[in-house]
């Protein structure tokens, strides 16, 4: 053996490279390395035991033969257990493990930092010894009320962990749970990240406590059943000096527009940078309810995402207008069942509102619900984004791609939507966006005019690597256009757009 392999740093580097292998190959190799020599044993065992899919491997160290009839564990077996348990940093418990009551508290993992409970694994949570180093707890109880796991053991575990460790920063709870467990969650006031997908188990009282956590930076919550008026009443009952989400940076919420609007009015405008909104639509919603939500988004916002898969048309130019003030927006993503009907003028405005955009996506060409729409955007829209958004990396628009000369807009229409170099910034090579991906939406078939279209978008976006069409994931559209049968009328149409925007085709 070369003496260099006895240097811990070199061995650790080699083992880190090997971690890219499959899980089975990597763990098998670590077992062999651990048996090779004493110098390699500890580094290999540390990596082998650092993450476990269950506590069973540890319990096997406490052989039944080592446990006398009185239930006492032989000291030698316990020492062996402790030697290996100190290596564990992360564990996922998915199955119920029957542990004798005499062992309660002995299943201790002193250096554990991350723990995940799933399904049956939730039942044996309170048999674990508490580690003061735990920073992350992830719980999934399941959503089936009849077959779902009881949360008593988890409630006791969270209560004991709260008393033993003040450093828990991340807590995720999913599934149907109890008020007692959520009461334990509300005691973790120092959390930095909290995810709550517990359905109607979440009460307004608990929700109001959560939004007062002073250190909370990331909140993901399902609040579809909560009411805006109850939120305002609950906040009013709090102490006057209590701030609402004073440190919140990232908010992901499933809720009715009224509740989201009320919550946004309570959050300090200087903090929020990411807002992801899954809209819960109701039949009695007022006209344009999203406009009120958008009006209360802070100017500090950098990432905006909206989802609504109800069969309603909720996004248009007037609805989006309050977002024009978000000059620092970097990501804009709207995924709705009924694709917004926007035209080239809307594309021009959207691109000019947010010059710092890196990712922009608005729906698809084909509605999820199958409703026919007359899309107003033409390929001119791409040129607006190429000119106004120099940092753009990905783009998805509901654009109608002309398939023949008969579908081309008339010259007067093109003149109205396309600015000259004198009235707008030229889209020269130095200003063109470093776009890597362009999504042209859902297509039943590849457009026959794809050759002309590919030449056009590659002239606008020289860095383009991926041209995607939903429904054709295995088709390389750029490759499809390598031997084109060009249509002169379409080629002239695209070249005129490029010329009007000052694009020089090399």
Can you give 232-244 as a three-state secondary structure string? HHHHHCCCCCCCC
Closest listed residue to residue 277, CA positions, set 298, 299, 250, 300: 250
Gap between the Cα atoms of 42 and 366, Å rounded? 57
Q: Is the pLDDT of residue 192 over 90?
A: yes
Helix (H) / strand (E) containing 493: helix 488-500
Region 207-217: mean pLDDT is 94
pLDDT of residue 52: 87
| Long-range Cβ pairs for the range 313-320 (8 Å, 24+) | 313/338, 313/340, 313/341, 314/279, 314/281, 314/289, 314/290, 314/338, 315/290, 315/340, 316/340, 316/341, 316/342, 317/342, 317/346, 317/349, 318/288, 318/291, 319/288, 319/290, 319/291, 319/294, 320/294, 320/350
Compute the distance between CA of residue 158 and CA of residue 210 in angstroms, rounded to an integer: 16
E-state strands within 36-113: 51-52, 90-93
Q: Is pLDDT above 70 for 395?
A: yes
Q: Which residue has the tokens 């939120």?
A: 231
Residues 196-214 have a mean pLDDT of: 93
* pLDDT exceeds 50 at position 69: no
Lowest mean pLDDT among 7-11, 162-166, 394-398: 7-11
User: Is the per-residue pLDDT at 366 higher than 70?
Assistant: no
473: left (phi over 0), alpha (psi -120 to 50) or beta: alpha
Between residues 397 and 172, the one the model is more confident about: 172
Beta-carbon contacts of residue 357 (< 8 Å; ≥ 6 apart): 329, 330, 331, 332, 351, 385, 389, 391, 392
Task: Write down the pLDDT at residue 243.
Answer: 85
Beta strands in 58-204 (DSSP E): 90-93, 114-118, 136-140, 170-174, 193-197
pLDDT exceeds 90 at position 34: no
Rounded to whole angstroms, how far apart are CA atoms 275 and 264? Answer: 10
Give the whole-angstrom CA distance, residue 82 versus residue 109. 8
CB atoms within 10 A of CB 37: 12
**pLDDT in the model for residue 235:** 85
pLDDT more than 70, % of the chain:
80
Residue 299 clears pLDDT 50, i.e. is over it: yes
pLDDT band at 124 (very low <50, low <70, confident <90, very high): confident
Predicted confidence band at 306 (pLDDT cuts at 50, 70, 90)? very high
Res. 76 pLDDT band, cuts 50 70 90: confident
Mean pLDDT of 195-203: 93
CA atoms within 13 A of residue 416's CA, in its CB half-sphere: 10
Q: What integer is the mean pLDDT of 381-405?
A: 89
What is the per-residue pLDDT for 286?
A: 65
Q: Please say whether the beta carbons of 385 and 346 come within 8 A.
A: no
Placement of tokens 């041209």 in the chain: 467
Residue 287: how many CB atoms within 10 A of its CB? Answer: 5
> Residues 450-465: pLDDT tens digits?
888 888 988 899 888 8
Res. 196: pLDDT tops 80: yes
pLDDT bucket at 358, cuts 50 / 70 / 90 = very high
Q: What is the pLDDT of residue 145?
A: 59
Strands (E), 13-152: 51-52, 90-93, 114-118, 136-140
Percent of the chain that is helix, strand, coil (3-state, to 5): 40, 15, 45
State the pLDDT confidence band at 67, using cuts at 50, 70 and 90. very low
Residues in the chain: 506
Cα separations in angstroms, 362 against 133, 236, 308 = 44, 38, 12
Q: Residue 55: what pLDDT?
A: 83
Whole-number pLDDT of residue 303: 97
Reply yes or no on whether the pLDDT at 36 is more than 70. yes
The whole-number average pLDDT for the span 251-256 is 95
For the chain, the average pLDDT equals 81
Distance CA 353, CA 357 (A): 9
Q: Which residues contact 205 (CB under 8 A, 6 or more apart)?
A: 234
- Of 274, 136, 112, nearest in space to 193 by CA: 136
Say which residues have a Cβ less than 8 Å from residue 476's Cβ, sequence separation at least 6: none
| Residue 37 confidence (pLDDT) | 78
Q: How confident is the model at residue 56 (pLDDT cuts 50, 70, 90)?
A: confident
Average pLDDT over residues 370-374: 47
What digits encode the pLDDT tens for the residues 9-31? 677 777 777 777 777 777 787 78
- Please give the residue that has the higher pLDDT: either 471 or 166: 166
Q: CA-to-CA distance for 116 and 384, rounded, in angstroms?
A: 47
Residue 149 has pLDDT above 60, yes or no: no
Q: Where is average pLDDT lowest: 60-64, 147-151, 433-437?
A: 147-151
Band of pLDDT at residue 5, cut at 50, 70 and 90 = low
Out of 38-52, 253-267, 313-327, 401-415, pick the least confident. Answer: 401-415
pLDDT confidence tier of residue 432, bands split at 50, 70 and 90: low
Structure tokens at 468: 């995607």
Average pLDDT over every residue of 45-67: 75
Please compute the mean of the pLDDT values over residues 270-285 and round it to a whole number: 86
As a whole-number percent, the residues of the chain with pLDDT over 90 amount to 33
Q: Compute the average pLDDT of residues 221-246.
A: 85
> Could you tell me the pTM of the whole model?
0.84
Both tokens assigned to 389: 């958004």
Q: Any bridge partners for residue 304, and if so which?
A: 275, 332
Average pLDDT over residues 313-342: 88
Closest by CA to 224, choosing from 194, 247, 204, is: 204
Secondary structure of residue 304 in the 3-state scheme = strand
Determine how many CB atoms are found less than 10 A away from the CB of residue 316: 15
Q: 471-496 pLDDT, tens per residue? A: 666 666 766 665 556 888 888 899 88
All residues at 6 or more sequence positions from 213 whose CB lies less than 8 Å from its CB, including other chains: 188, 189, 190, 191, 194, 245
Contacts of 61 (CB under 8 A, 6+ apart): 77, 80, 81, 84
Q: What is the pLDDT of residue 97?
A: 77
Report yes or no: 224 and 192 within 8 Å, Cβ to Cβ: no
Orientation of helix 380-388 relative to helix 344-353, angle to 10°: 10
Look at residue 368 and tell me whether its pLDDT is greater than 80: no
Task: Report residue 66's pLDDT band, with 50, 70 and 90 as the boundaries.
Answer: very low
439, 471 in Cβ contact below 8 A? no
């Amino acid at each position: 053996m070369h003496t260099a392999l006895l240097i811990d740093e070199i061995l650790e580097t080699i083992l880190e490279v090997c971690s890219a292998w499959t899980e089975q190959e990597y763990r098998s190799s670590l077992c062999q390395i651990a048996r090779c020599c004493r110098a390699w044993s500890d580094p290999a065992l540390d990596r082998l035991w650092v993450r476990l899919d269950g506590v069973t491997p540890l319990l096997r160290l406490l052989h039944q033969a080592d446990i006398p009839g009185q239930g006492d564990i032989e000291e030698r077996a316990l020492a062996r257990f402790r030697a290996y348990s100190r290596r564990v940093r992360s564990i996922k418990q998915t199955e119920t493990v029957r542990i004798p009551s005499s062992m309660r508290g002995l299943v201790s993992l002193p250096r554990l930092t991350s723990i995940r409970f799933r399904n049956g694994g939730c039942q044996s949570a309170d048999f674990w010894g508490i580690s003061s180093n735990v920073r992350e707890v992830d719980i999934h109880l399941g959503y089936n009320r009849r077959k779902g796991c009881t949360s008593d053991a988890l409630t006791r575990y969270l209560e004991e962990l709260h008393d033993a460790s003040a450093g828990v920063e991340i807590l995720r709870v999913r599934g149907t749970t109890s008020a007692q467990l959520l009461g334990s969650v509300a005691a973790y006031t120092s959390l930095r990240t909290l995810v709550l997908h517990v359905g109607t188990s979440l009460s307004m009282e608990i929700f109001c406590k959560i939004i007062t956590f002073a250190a909370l930076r990331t909140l993901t919550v399902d609040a579809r059943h909560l009411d805006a008026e109850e939120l305002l009443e609950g906040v009013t009952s709090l102490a006057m000096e209590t701030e609402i989400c004073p440190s919140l940076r990232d908010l992901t919420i499933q809720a009715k527009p009224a509740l989201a609007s009320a919550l946004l009015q309570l959050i300090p405008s200087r903090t929020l940078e990411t807002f992801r909104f899954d809209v819960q639509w109701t039949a009695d919603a007022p006209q344009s309810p999203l406009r009120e939500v958008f009006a209360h988004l802070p100017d500090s916002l950098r990432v905006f995402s909206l989802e609504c898969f109800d069969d309603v048309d909720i996004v248009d130019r007037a609805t989006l207008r309050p977002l024009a003030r978000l000059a620092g927006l970097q990501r804009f993503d709207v995924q709705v069942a009924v694709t917004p009907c926007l035209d080239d003028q809307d594309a021009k405005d959207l691109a000019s509102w947010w010059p710092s955009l890196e990712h922009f996506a608005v729906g698809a060409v084909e509605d999820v619900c199958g409703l026919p729409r007359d899309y107003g955007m033409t390929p001119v829209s791409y040129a607006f984004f190429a000119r106004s958004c120099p940092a753009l990396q990905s783009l998805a628009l509901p654009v109608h791609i002309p398939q023949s000369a008969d579908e081309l807009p008339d010259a007067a229409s093109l003149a109205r939507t396309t600015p000259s170099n004198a009235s707008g910034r030229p889209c020269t090579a130095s200003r063109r966006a470093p776009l890597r991906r362009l999504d042209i939406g859902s297509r039943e078939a590849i457009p026959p005019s794809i050759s002309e279209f590919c030449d056009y978008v590659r002239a606008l976006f020289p860095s383009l690597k991926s041209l995607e069409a939903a429904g054709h994931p295995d088709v390389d559209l750029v490759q499809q256009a390598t031997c084109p049968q060009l249509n002169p009328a379409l080629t002239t149409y695209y070249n005129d757009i490029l010329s009007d925007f000052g694009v020089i085709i090399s």
